Amino acid sequence: MAVCSICGKGVVYGNNVSHSNRKTSRTWKPNIRKVKFTVNGTTKVIPVCSRCLRTLKKG
């Protein structure tokens, strides 16, 4: 599933709107990466969006 386990960012739905104002449905998907984290001594693979990944690398 395309959901960040830290911030909860997920798929967003909306419309493409053409110049003639016709509307077709579309989706915006977050940039999800699977990252290994050590939690309580065990390694877990957690889906994380690129924004949260960048923030975690700063700290």
Tokens of 50: 């690129």
Domain ranges of the chain: 12-58
What pLDDT, in 10s, does the model give residues 22-37? 999 999 999 999 999 8
Rounded to whole angstroms, the Cα distance separating 45 from 24 reads 36
SS3 call for 57: helix
Q: Which CATH class is domain 12-58?
A: mainly beta
Chain centroid to CA 42: 24
Q: What are the tens digits of pLDDT across the range 38-58?
A: 989 999 999 999 999 999 888
- Those residues whose C-beta lies under 8 Å from the C-beta of residue 53, and which sit 6 or more positions away, are 33, 35
